């Protein structure tokens, strides 16, 4: 079993380039099923969630290919089944959006309830209710949704929570519906804005993405296009926190400051200097100790739930007490037990984690509990005294492209190995 081994204590310095966003790539890849023709996507990250979704698309009959220049071609002209492979759909969350796309293409579809990180119940009731409001008839049998629709019909949909996935799913289902759809209280993340931009580049008529209300005028069909995935704001945030926790100085190329604003604002509160440039962000710690701060996760543009875990690592060595309140998911604190193995003092009560900063962390064997929880362990290990061994790497592989080489390039003593003695080697780098 692979392990990441990190010998903590080296400040990160230099430049790191951020690749494409996982959550943008998977949303747009699912949407390509709407399009009879060859879509070309640039900056798709090479991560396991992308591989899983590509396997699903191929099972449905699409042809896919990474070109030599790194661009991904998806040709969904000839789909041959509307039944998604259950075992693959259950491995990730965004695969569920293919239900709306297949219903558009075939008038019927079968897609299992999705999987994804174990961070809460994560039901799909908003997706189902919205698709039904657009005219689909859906039934759940043995964990698989079976649906039928003649053609989606525009509708007024109110989401009781601004769900990113439901907003994306309903946007793509409404793209070729008959008439106008209005989605209220929708999510406003940069990945929503870019999915709308992608669909519009394919001929859709979507307005208001990035605001709480999106209007979609259905068009008869979409055409293929060539399009760029946005840089990953969560990877950018992870490197920014890694620079801060190690007392380093890192330029994060491609990070879009406007997408990272809540995280950058909180970083400044911890005594970190953040400089914003058109082509990236420079992060440099300017205080001796990290200053404590409180965080409450919120739908965009609030502080992203996906960054609370990595940020918690930073606060474990702050000079005082910090509170993190998680309002989006009901159980996204499982990683805190692993951080405690490294010497962190964290008490979780309900949806709040109280972190009492300690002067230093110490290395220990730890296990990733989920994708961002895994990244939190990597970030903490960068400052833990000794060699930290991290296993459960399949979680990190789902969303972080080339994490180990990129951190090594910034000066971290980090390696990925199957070898029990790898820790000795990395500490003597």
Query: Counting contacts by CB under 6 A, is residue 230 touching ligand EPU?
Result: no
Query: Counting contacts by CB under 6 A, is residue 365 touching ligand EPU?
Result: no
Tell the smallest beta-carbon distance from residue 160 to ligand EPU (Å). Answer: 8
Nearest to 23 by CA among 230, 285, 172, 174: 230
Nearest to 165 by CA among 222, 243, 104, 113: 113
State which residue, 251 or 333, has the beta carbon closest to ligand EPU. Answer: 333
Query: Counting contacts by CB under 6 A, is residue 229 touching ligand EPU?
Result: no
Site string for ligand EPU, 277-316 (x = CB under 6 A): ----------------------------xx----------
Among 19, 85, 100, 165, binds ligand EPU (CB under 6 A): 165
State which residue, 124 or 363, has the beta carbon closest to ligand EPU. Answer: 124
Among 164, 204, 243, 364, binds ligand EPU (CB under 6 A): 164
Tell the smallest beta-carbon distance from residue 167 to ligand EPU (Å). Answer: 8
Tell the smallest beta-carbon distance from residue 195 to ligand EPU (Å). Answer: 10
Among 127, 266, 285, 395, binds ligand EPU (CB under 6 A): 127
Stretch 3-32 residues interacting with ligand EPU (CB under 6 A): 22-23, 26
Count, residues in the chain: 429
State which residue, 82 or 94, has the beta carbon closest to ligand EPU. Answer: 94
DSSP H helices in 32-75: 48-60
Stretch 91-120 residues interacting with ligand EPU (CB under 6 A): 93-94, 117, 120
Stretch 178-217 residues interacting with ligand EPU (CB under 6 A): 187
Nearest to 163 by CA among 206, 121, 192, 198: 192
Among 125, 156, 275, 362, binds ligand EPU (CB under 6 A): 125
Helix (H) or strand (E) holding 365: strand 365-367
What strand order describes the sheet that includes 280-285?
Answer: 13-17, 249-253, 280-285, 272-277
Neighbour count for residue 29 (Cβ, 10 Å): 27
Structure tokens at 405: 């080489």
- Write b or e for each residue in 152-167: b if 16 or more Cβ atoms lie within 10 A of its Cβ, otherwise e: bbbbebebeebbbbbb
7, 82, 117, 186: the catalytic one is 117
> Residue 274: which residues within 8 A CB-CB, separation 6 or more?
240, 264, 267, 268, 281, 282, 283
Instruction: Please state, in angstroms and rounded to a whole number, the distance separating the CA atoms of residues 5 and 19.
Output: 23
How many helices and strands in the chain, by DSSP H and E? 15, 23
Among 90, 122, 151, 296, binds ligand EPU (CB under 6 A): 122
Which of these ranges, 38-46, 162-170, 201-209, 245-253, lies near ligand EPU under the rule CB under 6 A? 162-170
Instruction: Please state, in angstroms and rounded to a whole number, the distance separating the CA atoms of residues 297 and 320.
Output: 20
Tell the smallest beta-carbon distance from residue 426 to ligand EPU (Å). Answer: 27
CB 88 within 8 A of CB 55: yes
Whether 7 is a known active-site residue: answer no
State which residue, 332 or 341, has the beta carbon closest to ligand EPU. Answer: 332
Query: Counting contacts by CB under 6 A, is residue 371 touching ligand EPU?
Result: yes
Query: Counting contacts by CB under 6 A, is residue 166 touching ligand EPU?
Result: yes
Interior CA angle at 214 toward 222 and 52, to 5°? 55
Size of the site for ligand EPU (CB under 6 A): 27
Task: Write out the residues near ligand EPU by the rule CB under 6 A.
Answer: 22-23, 26, 93-94, 117, 120-127, 161, 163-166, 187, 305-306, 328-329, 371-372, 399
Residues with a known catalytic role? 117
């Amino acid at each position: 079993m692979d392990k990441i081994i990190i010998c903590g204590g080296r400040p990160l310095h230099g430049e790191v380039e951020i690749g494409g966003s996982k959550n943008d790539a998977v949303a747009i890849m699912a949407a390509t099923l709407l399009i009879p023709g060859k879509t070309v996507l640039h900056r798709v990250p090479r991560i396991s969630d992308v591989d899983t979704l590509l396997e699903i698309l191929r099972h449905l009959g699409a042809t896919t290919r990474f070109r030599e220049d790194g661009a991904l071609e998806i040709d969904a002209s000839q789909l041959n089944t509307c039944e998604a492979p259950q075992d693959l759909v259950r491995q990730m969350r965004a695969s569920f959006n293919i239900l709306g796309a297949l219903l558009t293409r075939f008038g019927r579809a079968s897609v299992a309830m999705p999987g994804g990180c174990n961070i809460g119940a994560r039901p799909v009731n908003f997706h189902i209710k919205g698709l039904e409001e657009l005219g689909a008839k859906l039934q759940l049998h043995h964990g698989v949704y079976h649906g039928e629709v003649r053609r989606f019909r525009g509708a007024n949909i109110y989401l009781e929570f601004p769900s990113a996935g439901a907003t994306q799913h309903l946007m793509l289902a409404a793209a070729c519906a008959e008439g106008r759809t209005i989605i209220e209280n929708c999510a406003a993340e940069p990945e929503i804005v870019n999915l709308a931009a992608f669909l519009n580049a394919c001929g859709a008529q979507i307005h208001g993405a990035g605001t709480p209300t999106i209007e979609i005028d259905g068009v008869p069909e979409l055409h293929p296009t060539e399009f760029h995935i946005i840089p990953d704001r969560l990877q950018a945030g992870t490197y920014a926190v890694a620079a801060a926790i190690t007392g380093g100085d890192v330029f994060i190329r491609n990070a879009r400051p406007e997408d990272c604003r809540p995280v950058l604002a909180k970083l400044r509160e911890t005594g970190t200097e953040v400089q914003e440039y058109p082509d990236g962000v420079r992060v440099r710690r300017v205080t001796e100790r990290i200053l404590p701060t409180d965080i409450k996760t919120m739908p965009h543009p609030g502080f992203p739930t996906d960054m609370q875990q990595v940020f918690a690592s930073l606060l474990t060595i702050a000079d005082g007490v910090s509170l993190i309140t998680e309002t989006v998911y009901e159980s996204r604190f499982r990683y805190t037990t692993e951080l405690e193995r490294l010497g962190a003092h964290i008490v979780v009560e309900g949806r709040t984690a109280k972190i009492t900063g300690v002067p230093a962390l110490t290395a220990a064997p730890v296990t990733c509990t989920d994708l961002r929880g895994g990244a939190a362990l990597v970030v903490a290990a960068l400052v833990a005294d000794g060699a930290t061994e991290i296993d459960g790497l399949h979680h990190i592989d789902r969303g972080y492209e080339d994490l180990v080489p990129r951190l090594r390039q910034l000066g971290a003593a980090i390696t990925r190995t199957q070898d029990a003695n790898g820790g000795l080697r990395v500490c003597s780098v």
